[in-house]
Structure 1
């Protein structure tokens, strides 16, 4: 993979994939490597097994993850882009901490829809040592996440969300306090639209028609009633009830056109502050929104109350 200078400056993948190093750490990757038209070593990203093996090698080489696998058909996340979210969240916390990035297990993060891959807790703990609580509605995904956590001795609490209409309700308990919440919400409003999105993706890659996603995905990972806007709107509405238990609520937003209605929703929620943080990744620009109900002057004391007497 060629260098990608648009990734976050702290992203370990900014110089691209070092296949010599990756194969040395994970020899099983060797049989999946090919040469692209420029003669560069890569893998076939249409091959789900190759993508899964690449992820396994990346997580082992860069994040000290000795065991990683996901059930067939579940979302296989592109590691560089997922890690960018973590790094920008670290910058967000630094803004409330005299521009010092807070590190250590006393920093508590809530991962909504943690998925079978457990990608955010894996990379977030490796990069910054944060503690994670992962929530998901899918029992098979949680079982996979639990196996990954146990095999790697991670500090991750896993909870099942029972009600598909709830996001924070049932996920945040009475004595919980978090520095941040994060989420990669379902993009589409229906299975049909998810399928059309797949076709556009393959067409943009010049691969013709296909019913497969190279990164997989179960229906709960790809679509929900109301789509991304509906999901985040419920997230904002429910966040009001936990305004004193989380410093920053955040969510990825896949489509730039969704920002305007989400801005209106956040305005009606009377949050103290909200931000749009853009993350450029090669040809693609992604973003997340962040909102807080806690006044700026009180944010440092809130962080301390969550168990951060020293976040230097």
Structure 2
């Protein structure tokens, strides 16, 4: 994990169960005698993430309806820290902090994880957007309950990314997105089945990806079509954003995305790799000037 990631050395389970006592009911003992969280139980995963937010990010209230995606906080934190490094490249390798740094989280979801972590770690000013009005209401309730300096906007156009969210006088230093990466509900279910198998659980869950509904997990054309649409629309906002970025779960999509960037006249782009245990993730970043 990123060296500034607070979770790089693992979970402080005694400390986490202290802030969320209910989590203790979902701990299991490994063969070596160490305690761990029962990651096969969706409730355990939600309680773990809630405890991490309470203990490390100054959150006092956070809850998530069953139908929404429950994010792994450590991995989300890595994206934020990697974005900080990207911004630092133009500031003498010093990460810019404070509300002068403005960030846009496309598809922030009901969990609001990226704005919470980014605001806590670097005091950046965040705007989150989502096409789901229920997700917007849930995330707005988290903002209100914790008195967070975060704005959440509803995106009424399911085919738009920046239009209707970035105003004429707005400027964002960076945009971020964790796109739906499956191309269909069937493909998403197969991904969930693989997760159950990797956890050694001889059953499947009715809850895709331990939570999450269609717009969060899949879209027509999958991740490639989604990010291509974002890239094409970004040209309209070339003077209002410093860096556009998006996670890319499938590395095989990178050549096609690079070709799309070249086609619309992007002057600079890069792929930033992030290593989390045995899993490697990445995001693609581009700008016009």
Output the TM-score relative to the length of structure 2: 0.97
Three-state SS of the structure 1 residue aligned to 2:210 is: coil
Equivalent residue for 1:276, pick from 271, 274, 283: 271
> 1:209 Cα shift?
4.2
Residue 46 (structure 1) aligns with:
40
Residue 256 (structure 1) aligns with:
251
Residue 123 (structure 1) aligns with:
117
Residue 192 (structure 1) aligns with:
186
Write out per-residue CA displacement over residues 203-238 of structure 1, whole angstroms, 9 at most, x where no aligned residue. Answer: 233324414435311110000111100000000000
* C-alpha contact 1:46 1:214 (8 A) present in aligned 2: no
* C-alpha contact 2:69 2:209 (8 A) present in aligned 1: no
Residue 107 in 1 paired to residue 101 in 2?
A: yes
* C-alpha contact 1:187 1:227 (8 A) present in aligned 2: yes
Residue 150 in 1 paired to residue 144 in 2?
A: yes
> 1:135 Cα shift?
0.3
Between 61-70 and 18-27, the greater mean CA deviation after superposition: 18-27
Q: Partners of 2:201 and 2:171 in 1: how far apart?
A: 46
Equivalent residue for 2:238, pick from 237, 243, 246: 243
Q: Partners of 2:89 and 2:14 in 1: how far apart?
A: 38
Residue 53 (structure 2) aligns with:
59
Q: Partners of 2:209 and 2:234 in 1: how far apart?
A: 33
Segments of structure 1 that go 5 or more residues without pairing to the other structure are 1-6, 295-312
* C-alpha contact 1:77 1:215 (8 A) present in aligned 2: no
Residue 126 (structure 2) aligns with:
132
Segments of structure 2 that go 5 or more residues without pairing to the other structure are none
Residue 75 in 1 paired to residue 69 in 2?
A: yes
Q: How many residues are aligned here?
A: 288
Output the TM-score relative to the length of structure 1: 0.90
Q: RMSD of aligned C-alpha atoms?
A: 1.1
Q: Partners of 1:29 and 1:23 in 2: how far apart?
A: 6
Write out per-residue CA displacement over residues 249-278 of structure 1, whole angstroms, 9 at most, x where no aligned residue. Answer: 000000111111111111112111001000
Between 9-18 and 23-32, the greater mean CA deviation after superposition: 23-32
Between 189-198 and 202-211, the greater mean CA deviation after superposition: 202-211
